[in-house]
Structures are given as structure tokens and as C-alpha cells.
Amino acid sequence: QVQLVESGGGLVQAGNSLRLSCTASGRSPSTYVMGWFRQVPGKEREFVAYISWTAGITRYADSVKGRFTISRDNAKNTVNLQINSLKFEDTAVYYCAAGSDYYSDYRRYVYWGQGTQVTVSS
């Protein structure tokens, strides 16, 4: 059983930075990877990045590579997403999720947080 809670979203001017956090309560032995996704109303949920708990293997979507950094603090059961050089098109609800493998497809993730809104003003 895993419960996920995101925080850190808000209204930010383009070019500035945000740091999102996801805290996990509990840990399933089959949960190896934490992912960040984002979604705009009317569009399908989009992969942003993932990281594995043990090896720290990461992957980023091309649209965020070089600007976003995913990290984890195993002792705190926390996964962070550092977002730099925000663009208007980064505006979305950002979700963290827990899965059993290195998936970029949101349909493969089992546990989800409630989401945190990131709004970028141009």
C-alpha cells in the first residue's frame, strides 16, 4: 500500500524555477520506479521523467530534457522535480506515480498522487 502526495506547485513567471516534491507513505516491495507526469485538460497524460529507488536510473521526456531534474531521497521517501527555465507550455497539473518497472506509459503505473497545479505566466 502506497500513498503519494505532491506539493510545490503554483503560479510562476516564465523563465523562473519551481521545485515539486512527492512524499510517499508506505512502500510496496514491487514499487521500484517513481515517475512524474503532467496533464492539460482535454489532453492525454504526458510522461515527464522517472527515477528508480535503488539504482537511480532516470529518463526524461525530450520536451523537458536539460531543464527538469528528477531526484530522490530514499531516507525520506521523497521524489523531487526541479524545474528550471519554465515555459508557458509547462503549464499543467503535475502528478507523481509509483510503478513496478521503467515505464513511460502512465497506464503502467499503479499508485498516483492527487496532483499539483503548475501555472506559468508569459
pLDDT at residue number 30: 78
pLDDT in tens, 14-69: 999 999 999 999 877 678 999 999 999 999 999 999 999 999 999 999 999 999 99
Kindly report the three-state secondary structure assignment for every residue of the chain: CCEEEEECCEEEECCCCEEEEEEEECCCCCCCEEEEEEECCCCCCEEEEEEECCCCCEEECCCCCCCEEEEEEHHHCEEEEEECCCCHHHCEEEEEEEECCCCCCHHHCCEECCCEEEEEEC
Res 82 pLDDT > 90 = yes
- Of residues 60 and 74, more confidence is placed in 60
pLDDT at residue number 122: 87
pLDDT at residue number 38: 98
pLDDT at residue number 85: 97
